[in-house]
């Protein structure tokens, strides 16, 4: 799962590394349309790329987190960013053996 996917660079990297299913989540329909178009250009027929337009913080409260890896890299400072780990690890569907990777602006020391 690629949270705050933007133009999808991490989504495409997941594809190139052999992921057979990637969900790209962003609030911008413009970016998600770009992700879908680029995935087709990259022959994503062997991979499944799904885009999901949503506020990440709202989505994580509702979604089953049955993913091997969750990557979160917001491109800008976001209010409530420090709540992201609790939303992921507090979700009962998240399997503890899985991996979560996040990146944050240097100014945010809380993560």
Structural domain total, the chain: 1
CATH number for the domain that contains residue 81:
3.40.50.150
Residue numbers of the domain that contains 12: 2-102
Residue 56 falls within a domain, yes or no?
yes
Residues 92-99: contacts with CB under 8 Å, at least 24 apart: 93/63, 93/64, 93/65, 93/66, 94/65, 95/65, 95/66, 98/67, 98/68, 98/69, 98/70, 99/68, 99/69, 99/70
Structure tokens at 51: 């885009």
Cβ(32)–Cβ(51) below 8 Å: yes
The answer to pTM > 0.85 is no
Residue 111 falls within a domain, yes or no?
no
pLDDT tens, per residue, the chain with 111 residues:
999 999 999 999 998 888 888 999 999 999 999 999 999 898 776 568 999 999 988 888 787 777 888 888 887 777 878 888 888 777 776 665 455 555 555 555 554
């Amino acid at each position: 799962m690629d949270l705050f996917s933007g133009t999808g660079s991490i989504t495409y990297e997941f594809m190139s590394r052999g992921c057979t299913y990637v969900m790209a989540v962003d609030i911008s329909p413009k970016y998600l349309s770009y992700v879908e178009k680029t995935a087709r250009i990259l022959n994503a027929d062997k991979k499944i790329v799904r885009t999901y337009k949503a506020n990440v913080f709202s989505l994580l409260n509702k979604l089953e987190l049955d993913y091997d890896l969750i990557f979160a890299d917001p491109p800008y400072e976001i209010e409530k960013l420090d709540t992201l780990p609790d939303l992921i690890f507090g979700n009962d569907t998240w399997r503890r053996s899985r991996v979560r990777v996040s990146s944050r602006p240097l100014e945010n020391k809380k993560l």
